Structure 1
Amino acid sequence: MWTGVIPAVTTKFTPEGDLDHAEMERCFALQMDAGCDGIIVCGSLGEGPMLSQDERIAVLKRAQAVTQGKPTLMTVSEAGTREACALAAKAAKAGATGLMVVPSPIYHTDPAETAATLRAVAAAGDLPVMIYSNRVAYRVDVTPEIMESLADDARFVAIKESSDDIRRTTEIINRLGDRYAVLTGVDNLALEALAVGACGWVAGLVCAFPKETVAIYRLMQAGRTAEALAIYRWFRPLLDLDVSTFLVQNIKLAEALAIGSTEHVRAPRKVLSGARRAEVEAVVRDAIERRPALAA
């Protein structure tokens, strides 16, 4: 369950700002058709904080209709622990396979508060939990020491490692062995993380380029590193679009150009325009023009 390529999917909206269920179903199906191993909804890329809890449950259910038994995870990222626990319980009732849990993105918890929050959310949902450690975006570092302190609770099963330090993957494995499944969460460090022991990739640009993402993962698992590296080098300018304040708009523009999807976002975000749009569009169009042939 906690291996492979698991897209952190975008949430699709109509021009009026409502959930676009038909377009979500189409795009989620493309991920499954390419061989992805599950779906995570309503994360940072999925604009989860811009959605009501009821909307997040609706997106979860839309994904469940497509994943056909593969893991479907709900992201829990709330300012308050009470609200996070409420969402975890709702996701469990709606049939989520598991949770990806972010410590409060507003209040920057200390280690004791971080561990207490994660324990509370895990108990409320009573589902397998992927701990999302992203000190860059959320300014809370779920360190290997905190992970070790949580290891007595079997509900904590995986780590989305997004510290932006490739050494962290090895540090987790050296300290905790195989206690947690470690998945990389930084697109432009993915091959490096897989090379040092990550067993999965929570991916963003996969939304626009699912086949290439899956190919890299499978080639690495098969020990065909040179072939994976050739695709990864082509992919790198695209993967850099994930490491940006504008990752949502960047990736939605990539989806529009690569798979004919939409770019609608929730305010205060706006779709890319001007020089920034031209720059991203040039990267995506160049990649499409030079798209590599994928081996069987």
Structure 2
Amino acid sequence: MTQPTLFEGVFPAITTPFQADGTVDHDFLSEHARWMMRAGSRGIVPLGSLGEGNTLEEAEKTAVLRTLVSALGSAPVIPGIGSLSTAGAVRLAQAAQDAGCQGLMVLPPYVYTSDWREMKAHMAAVISATDLPVILYNNPIAYRTDFQPAHILELAQEHANVRAVKESSADVRRVTALAATLPAHVELMVGVDDLLLEGVAAGATGWIAGLVNAYPAESVQLFNLARGGQLKEAADLYRWFLPLLRLDTGIKFVQLIKQVQAEVGRGSAQVRAPRLPLTPDEVREVQGLVAQASARQPALV
């Protein structure tokens, strides 16, 4: 059997669980990560957008990484590396390597958005801070910085440890452009939940997923069916999953996904300010989607 490539498979963008007092729940974090790995995930991606990384202090981020590395042993922990400053992102990248992480997902800087010259300088500094393999994270909707295929190719040509791109523009044409542009050593990863089938069809080899936090077995099976060319079976499962997967695409995607976790008994809906809990109407909407999914739960193989 052919061995999976470096970033091939399902990589949960793990949510950060909080206790009632607002501190990180490290015990649940460990159990939750192990549960998703047992379902067939390839590695864990903490501290990203879904992980509320921009609300965590630097010491909290390092503590999350140490907890996950300890909990998962040899399984890859690939944290999101984001900061208001380049120096802060470099420090976090180096702390991740010191903690035993096996890769990095590098974000553009929070808040400040400028031209490619400045963005490239930031990305290059973080990429060069360690020798760990790097996933470039392109999410223009969230971060107002759009790494064009030519920009990504430029970084990949200049930095040998750039090994993948998480593409979250939600533009399937961008996915196909990247698939045609990227060198062989740089993998393409789907970064939005409701573009999985289309992304794999275009050539994506990995999925950094959100609803996997509540439905890991279904997520892994969907990915495996798509990658294996079992298109009818994949399409059937995708249709069942899509109402939930679409929760990953709005402004309140963190609250919505955490609410799904709470509904299926796999976590708390608690978020950290400035995010607020969902309104009662929003909670009822999520409960309806979960009930609908439960009533038509597919048989998994």
TM-score normalized by structure 2? 0.95
Match of 1:197 in 2: 203
Q: Does 1:139 align with 2:150?
A: no
Return the match for 1:220 from 201, 222, 226.
226
The letter for the 2-side match of 1:15 is A
How far did 1:225 drift? 1.1
Match of 1:124 in 2: 129
Contact residue 162 and residue 184 of structure 1 kept, 8 A: yes
* CA deviations over 1:101-140 (Å, ceiling 9, x no partner): 1111211131111111111001113311100001111110
Contact residue 91 and residue 125 of structure 1 kept, 8 A: no
The letter for the 1-side match of 2:11 is I
Match of 1:60 in 2: 65
* CA deviations over 1:55-85 (Å, ceiling 9, x no partner): 1111112222233312111111112111111
How far did 1:152 drift? 2.4
Secondary structure of 2:78's aligned partner: strand
* CA deviations over 1:155-197 (Å, ceiling 9, x no partner): 1110001111011121112122424100000100111101110
Secondary structure of 2:169's aligned partner: coil
**Gaps spanning 5+ residues in structure 1: where?**
none
Match of 2:186 in 1: 180
TM-score normalized by structure 1? 0.97
Contact residue 103 and residue 109 of structure 1 kept, 8 A: no
Secondary structure of 1:259's aligned partner: coil
**Alpha-carbon distance between aligned partners in 2 of 1:2 and 1:135, rounded to the nearest angstrom:** 22
The letter for the 2-side match of 1:90 is A
Q: Does 1:265 align with 2:271?
A: yes
**Alpha-carbon distance between aligned partners in 1 of 2:277 and 2:116, rounded to the nearest angstrom:** 37
**Alpha-carbon distance between aligned partners in 1 of 2:160 and 2:209, rounded to the nearest angstrom:** 25
**Gaps spanning 5+ residues in structure 2: where?**
1-5
Secondary structure of 1:201's aligned partner: strand
Match of 1:235 in 2: 241
Q: How many residues align?
A: 295
Secondary structure of 1:18's aligned partner: coil
Q: Does 1:72 align with 2:90?
A: no
- Using the TM superposition, name which of 272-281 and 130-139 deviates more: 272-281
The letter for the 1-side match of 2:73 is Q
Paired-residue identity, %: 41
Contact residue 138 and residue 165 of structure 2 kept, 8 A: yes
Secondary structure of 2:120's aligned partner: helix
**Alpha-carbon distance between aligned partners in 2 of 1:85 and 1:129, rounded to the nearest angstrom:** 13
Contact residue 25 and residue 66 of structure 1 kept, 8 A: yes
How far did 1:5 drift? 0.1
- Using the TM superposition, name which of 172-181 and 226-235 deviates more: 172-181
Secondary structure of 1:100's aligned partner: strand
Q: Does 1:43 align with 2:45?
A: no
Q: Does 1:169 align with 2:175?
A: yes
Secondary structure of 2:184's aligned partner: coil
Match of 2:3 in 1: none
Secondary structure of 1:119's aligned partner: helix
Contact residue 36 and residue 213 of structure 2 kept, 8 A: yes
